[in-house]
């Protein structure tokens, strides 16, 4: 078995599937495989992505809006993938999210059916009781109140005064309100999927990791996957397998499908690629969370206004004013200094639209695998998304202007008064200043074979192609209303369990190569 991509999903799959000594697993990664027992600080310590991570990144860019044609959307290019470089926020998908997935992927993806897999992969050190896990490989902690910044304490007070409830555990079923963010860290160190899942499995003789190997395409014999073509060390090689799993992320997996002739035939053919499976959903339905932030200069009285390694300690989960979609808003407070003019301390309230209706797409721009695909995030294509973002910016301004934060804030610097003069002016500001939350998903979504936009079935098998699966954030029907890493791990754990069960059944094994 070949797994392409040693990110969050790939590490889980390699670890779980290689537990079966009768199954040989090869995990292929384009980035490097660092010594997991002695990681460099930029991979070891929890922090935001910065210049130190450059060698470990895919440096993709995307169109965000008509006002913002090029926006950086980096992701992890290293064993561990984005879990090795992300901000370690560890939030479960919400009930609304997974019950919505079930409409496409079937009842096995309902929230209640997924809870056991979230539980299995975590060890919640703050809430060690059901439904939280206590023996999983991912440790989960929240910053204790004694370590909160003055901004976090004041922001909590402002949210409570505004009538929002306390949310001590954002991973409790149906939680909302203001409370600490859960992180997959231990003593300030990032617990990536590589450390939590892959490292304990590396000594198995049936597991091999091939790093610095760039996948070019899936090798097909008719409509059956037979392996993967890679470039490694200046050589072009073909790795053969009975089954191939693409776990290269929402950009990488969709790109590989297209390069292999799997996707919209009329778009693939002009690049000289012979269509194998005409699946119009490949590369479509690109989902993400648009983000915008309001900011004030830090007050002279806020003498300890410094940027923390992970600036967001607490968050508010709520429903945007006028929205028909529950819990679609996330607002957090932070002090930022590293990316501000002259490193001037600023107090910011970020607003993330966690359930956008708009979607983007990914298309081939070249038949050369080394050329990134054309990516359009599609932010604000739906007018309702702009309306809800306006409401969230208004809420961010309201919360940040409350008396509870008066001692911390100085002059407001974003948006400027002119940007707030009219709804149209604010829309223009949002189109120009929007950022990505680095949560791409949905480009090869789950669904039945009769669903014309579905790419894979409920266990990741590609429609119309034997011996090929996609298992990563690509297959999510929609972006969950949270940072997506915990949900990506859950998806891989759930499908790995299904694959193990299928291989244990002779009848199922005959249908599903292992």
Q: pTM for the complete prediction? A: 0.97
Rounded Cα–Cα distance for residues 439 and 379 (Å): 13
Altogether, the residues listed in the chain come to a count of: 514
Contact between 452 and 278 under an 8 Å Cβ cutoff? The reply is no
| Cβ pair 216, 238 in contact under 8 A | no
Give the residue-averaged pLDDT of 458-483. Answer: 98
Q: Given this model, what pLDDT does residue 512 score? A: 39
What are the C-alpha distances in Å from 379 to residues 360, 422, 423? 7, 20, 17
Report the alpha-carbon distance of residue 435 to residue 230 in Å, rounded: 33
Mean pLDDT of all residues belonging to the chain: 96
Residue-wise burial string across 296-307, b where 16 or more C-beta atoms lie within 10 A, e elsewhere: bbbbeebeebeb
pLDDT digits (tens, 9 = 90+) for 168-219: 999 999 999 999 999 999 999 999 999 999 999 999 999 999 999 999 999 9
Residues forming beta bridges with residue 462, ordered by sequence position: 456
| β partners of residue 246 | 4, 470
Q: How confident is the model at residue 505, as a pLDDT?
A: 62
Distance CA 496, CA 471 (A): 9
CA angle 324, 325, 326 (to 5 degrees): 120
Catalytic residue among 33, 289, 439, 463: 439
pLDDT of residue 359 exceeding 50, the answer is yes
| pLDDT tens-digit map of 264-323 | 999 999 999 999 999 999 999 999 999 999 999 999 999 999 999 999 999 999 999 999
Q: What's the topology of domain 2-41+191-285+441-511?
A: FAD/NAD(P)-binding domain (3.50.50)
- Cβ–Cβ < 8 Å for 85, 78: yes
The predicted pLDDT at position 504 comes to: 80
* pLDDT cut 90: percent of the chain above it: 97
CA–CA distance, 329 with 292 (Å, rounded to integer): 12
Predicted confidence at residue 506, as pLDDT, reads 53
Q: Where are the alpha helices (DSSP H) in 243-348?
A: 249-259, 265-268
Beta strands in 405-467 (DSSP E): 409-414, 435-436
Residue 510 has pLDDT above 50, yes or no: no
Rounded to the nearest angstrom, the gap between the alpha carbon of residue 321 and the centroid of all alpha carbons in its chain is 26
Q: Is 439 tagged catalytic?
A: yes
Q: How far apart are CA 82 and CA 283, in angstroms?
A: 20
β-pairing, 290-298 vs 409-414, is antiparallel
Over 80: is that where the pLDDT of 75 sits?
A: yes
CA dihedral over 472, 284, 357, 73, signed as positive or negative: positive
Find residue 304's DSSP bridge partners: none
Distance CA 510, CA 394 (A): 58
Best CA proximity match to 158, nearest among 426, 389, 399: 399
Confidence band, pLDDT 50/70/90 cuts, at residue 503: confident
Token pair for 456: 């894979």
CA distance 200 to 207: 11
Per-residue b/e over 364-375, b at no fewer than 16 CB within 10 Å?
A: beeeebeebbeb
Indicate whether 509 pLDDT > 80.
no
Name the residue with tokens 């790109």.
255
Percent of the chain with pLDDT over 70: 98
């Amino acid at each position: 078995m070949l797994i392409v991509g040693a990110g969050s999903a790939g590490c889980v799959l390699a670890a779980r599937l290689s537990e079966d000594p009768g199954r040989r697993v090869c995990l292929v990664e384009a980035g490097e495989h660092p010594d997991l027992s002695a990681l460099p600080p930029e991979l070891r310590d929890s922090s935001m992505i910065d210049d130190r991570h450059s060698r470990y990144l895919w440096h993709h860019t995307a169109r965000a809006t008509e006002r913002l044609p090029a926006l950086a959307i980096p992701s992890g290019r290293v064993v561990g993938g984005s879990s090795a470089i992300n901000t370690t926020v560890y939030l479960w998908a919400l009930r609304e999210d997974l019950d919505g997935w079930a409409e496409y992927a079937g009842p096995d993806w309902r929230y209640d059916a997924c809870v056991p897999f979230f539980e299995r992969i975590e060890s919640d050190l703050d809430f060690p009781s059901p439904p939280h896990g206590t023996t999983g490989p991912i440790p989960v902690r929240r910053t204790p109140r004694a370590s909160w910044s003055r901004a976090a304490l004041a922001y909590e007070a402002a949210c409570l005064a505004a009538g929002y409830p306390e949310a001590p555990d954002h991973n409790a079923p149906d939680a909302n309100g203001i409370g600490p963010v859960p992180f997959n860290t231990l003593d300030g160190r990032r617990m990536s999927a590589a450390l939590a899942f892959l490292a304990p499995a590396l000594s198995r003789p049936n597991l091999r990791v091939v790093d610095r190997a760039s996948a070019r395409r899936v090798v097909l014999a008719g409509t059956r996957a037979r392996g993967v073509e890679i470039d490694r060390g200046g050589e072009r090689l073909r790795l053969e397998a009975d089954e191939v799993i693409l776990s290269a992320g929402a950009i990488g997996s969709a790109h590989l499908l297209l390069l292999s002739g799997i996707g919209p035939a009329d778009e693939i053919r002009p690049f000289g690629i012979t269509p194998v499976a005409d699946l119009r959903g490949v590369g479509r339905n690109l989902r993400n969370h648009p983000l915008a932030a309001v900011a004030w200069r830090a007050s002279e009285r806020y003498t300890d206004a410094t940027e923390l390694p992970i600036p967001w300690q607490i968050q508010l989960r709520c429903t945007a004013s006028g929205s028909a979609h529950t819990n679609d808003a996330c607002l957090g407070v932070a002090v930022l200094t590293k990316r501000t003019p002259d490193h001037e301390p600023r107090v910011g309230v970020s607003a993330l639209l966690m359930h956008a209706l708009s979607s983007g797409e990914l298309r081939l721009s070249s038949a050369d695998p080394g050329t990134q695909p054309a990516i359009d995030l599609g932010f604000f294509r739906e007018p309702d998304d702009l309306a809800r973002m306006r409401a969230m910016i208004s809420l961010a301004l309201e919360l940040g202007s409350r008396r509870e934060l008066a001692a911390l804030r100085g002059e407001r610097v974003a948006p400027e008064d002119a940007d707030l003069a009219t709804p149209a002016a604010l829309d223009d500001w949002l189109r120009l200043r929007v950022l990505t939350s680095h949560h791409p998903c949905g480009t090869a979504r789950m669904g039945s074979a009769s669903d014309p936009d579905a790419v894979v079935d409920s266990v990741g098998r590609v429609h119309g192609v034997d011996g090929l699966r996609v298992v990563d954030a690509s297959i999510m029907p929609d972006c969950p209303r949270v940072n997506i890493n915990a949900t990506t791990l859950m998806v891989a754990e759930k499908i790995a369990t299904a694959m193990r069960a299928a291989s244990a059944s002779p009848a199922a094994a005959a249908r599903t190569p292992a």
